[in-house]
Amino acid sequence: MIPTFVVAFLFGLLSVVAAAQPKQRARLRVPRPGFREQLTPVTAQPITPNQPLFIDVPIDHFDGNATNKGLGKTFPNRYWLNDSYYDGGPVFIFDSGEQDAAPLVPYYLQEFHGLSAVMQLARRYKGIAILWEHRFYGDSLPFPVNINTTADQWKFLTTEQALEDVIFFADSFSRQLSHTQPLRGPQSLPIHPSITPWIFLGGSYPGIRGALLRQRNPDTIFASWASSAPVEAQVDMSSYYKAAERSLTRNCSADWVAVTRFVDDTLKGNNDTAKTDMKFKLLKARLSGPGGNTTGADGLTPAVAEKTSNLDAATILMDPLDFYQYYGFGESILPFCDLLETRNSTAPAHKLGIAASSTIEAAFDAFLVALGETDYDSIETPDDPVGDRSWMWQYCSEYGFYQRGDPNNPLSIETSFLSLDLFQQQCNEAFPVGIPASPNVANVNKYGGWNMSPSNVMFTNGEFDPWRTMGLASIESNAPHRTPSSNIPHCNTPTPSNSFFGLTYPGLVHVSDMRVLLTPDANHSNFQTVGFYSPIPQGHEAFYAGLQLFQRALDEWLPCFH
């Protein structure tokens, strides 16, 4: 998403500093594997118009009960199509996942300011490129999505219903290889999956969908490229921050762990004065800016700090990790660590860290200064209440991914105040009716989870992607520890249980290979515009490595289509 952005509309569970509310960010992190791309509107040069198309899709694909409110009803599902290179080749369908798909059109279907994997494949294989919008997101709404959406309406947002949307869509196209009359609308195109290979591309949650669709409907989806796909749904995802912990330098990691334990222990203690003082310092650090600018904290008082929850205060320590998922250590955390370990460039860094070489209080003070000097509040994040609430229903009902703190991990950099019970409490308060007592992850994992071995699927991951922990490349203690192989498996042949076909990109993070910038600039390489591509230098290598390997695989697989 997900990065782990916090959305204030969810519950009002976390306190905020009223006097500084415009600069506050509620800190309960949403377990969102995908990303709502905030892409700069295309105005710099003319582009070819690409109007949205709609297909009427059943609200309910399965239930034959005449009393079911969805039976016999449809909704318009939005998609876009680019046939610029089409000459009888495959269909390449790119899934936008848990976001409004419209901003992606110029970047993925028209390759404005860079290259996209879906269009490069369409060009090479003379195929059609399609951008598909997920039900309950963007303009593909069976029902209005807001706090008044009912359980009887939410129940149609499931993994199975959304997967079946793609199957229904593919099946809507013509089976006729030739036409004696002009085409009448897109559905008359002769690209039915019985006569044309359909190839699915997706990163993150859409990557899950690509893997599941090939496993579930191999007669419709001929092949998939699943990038950063956390196919193992788990309620407990305390492993999320382990990827970040592994990438940290020794001194920064030691101080982060020590400061986190210091804050947790103080806030759990009985000294109310010490607790209020700590909360005040943490809030002030968040509200301050570079150069020692503390004007943002002018409205902060000890009384406000005292009313701030322990969770709200402790999770301020996680601010530097908000963008780690996409930028990795070097681009998002290293600047903070440098400020921390050099005490804002006033002292040489010690290899063991400040807590070990000095005192925990000194480490805490340096941490606060580094927080203030790193201006995270100037980074805007996209506002999509429809997408936020729809994804919340999905993770509360089926996916889990609760990114809790792990009190049993002595090296955790995440506060132990984040608990499984707290995440479940959020879900119960947001959806009092309709969700299970705990997310029903079996609905997803029945296709194999991280033990799945679908044929004709390439899985790619970044080495330090937090969502790798739930994917086939996971190295967590409870994972099967499968290894990636670039050896192309034979067509329609499942991979061995101890390996999978794909790549793990060294040093990279989340979905680094679906799009690439040819010439990075200020408008297309900052936190506001990052999406399904990596803005860091190695991202170019990942894009081309992934694309070339998938092309080699398609060269091997396509001749066996029927």
- DSSP letter for 109, please: I
- Tokens representing residue 420 in the block: 């499984």
Name the more confident of 470 and 63: 470
Beta strands in 104-236 (DSSP E): 115-116, 128-132, 198-203, 223-227, 234-236
Q: What is the mean pLDDT of residues 508-523?
A: 76
Name the more confident of 514 and 380: 514
Name the more confident of 124 and 562: 124
Phi, psi angle pair for 507, to nearest 5°:
75, -5
The whole-number pLDDT of residue 44 equals: 36
- DSSP letter for 348, please: P
d(CA 369, CA 277): 16
For the chain, how many helices (H) and strands (E)?
17, 13
* pLDDT(232) > 80: yes
Q: What is the mean pLDDT of residues 445-474?
A: 95
Antiparallel, parallel or unpaired: β 91-95 and 128-132 = parallel
What is the torsional sign of CA 354, 360, 363, 365? negative
Q: What is the mean pLDDT of residues 58-79?
A: 78
Q: Is 45 exposed, middle or buried (0-12, 13-18, 19+ CB in 10 A)?
A: exposed
pLDDT in tens, 253-271: 999 999 999 999 999 999 9
Question: How many angstroms separate the Cα of 152 from the Cα of each of 74, 159, 434, 441?
Answer: 15, 16, 8, 20
End-to-end alpha carbon distance in the chain: 37
The whole-number pLDDT of residue 519 equals: 66
Phi, psi angle pair for 399, to nearest 5°:
-100, -30
Q: What is the mean pLDDT of residues 228-244?
A: 92
The whole-chain average pLDDT of the chain stands at 86
pTM score over 0.85: yes
Name the more confident of 38 and 114: 114
d(CA 298, CA 178): 72
Cross-strand partners of 484 = 500
263, 267, 271, 272: CA torsion to nearest 10? 120
In angstroms, how far is CA 103 from the centroid of its own chain?
16
The whole-number pLDDT of residue 384 equals: 85
* pLDDT(377) > 80: no
The whole-number pLDDT of residue 430 equals: 95
CB 457 within 8 A of CB 223: yes
CB 530 within 8 A of CB 327: yes
Name the more confident of 337 and 72: 337
Q: What is the mean pLDDT of residues 480-509?
A: 95
Tell which residue, 121, 300, 89, has the closest CA to residue 189. 89
pLDDT in tens, 462-491: 998 899 999 999 999 999 999 999 999 999
pLDDT in tens, 284-329: 999 999 999 999 999 999 999 999 999 999 999 998 888 788 777 7
CB 172 within 8 A of CB 412: no
Q: Which residues of 382-407 are buried (b: 16+ CB within 10 A; e: fewer)?
A: bebebbbbbbbbbbbbbbbbbbbbbe
CB 538 within 8 A of CB 505: yes
CB 234 within 8 A of CB 441: yes
* pLDDT(39) > 90: no
* pLDDT(276) > 70: yes
Half-sphere exposure for 26 (CA within 13 Å, toward CB): 13
Q: Which amino acid is at 416?
A: S
- Tokens representing residue 58 in the block: 């059943």
CB 190 within 8 A of CB 433: no
The whole-number pLDDT of residue 41 equals: 47
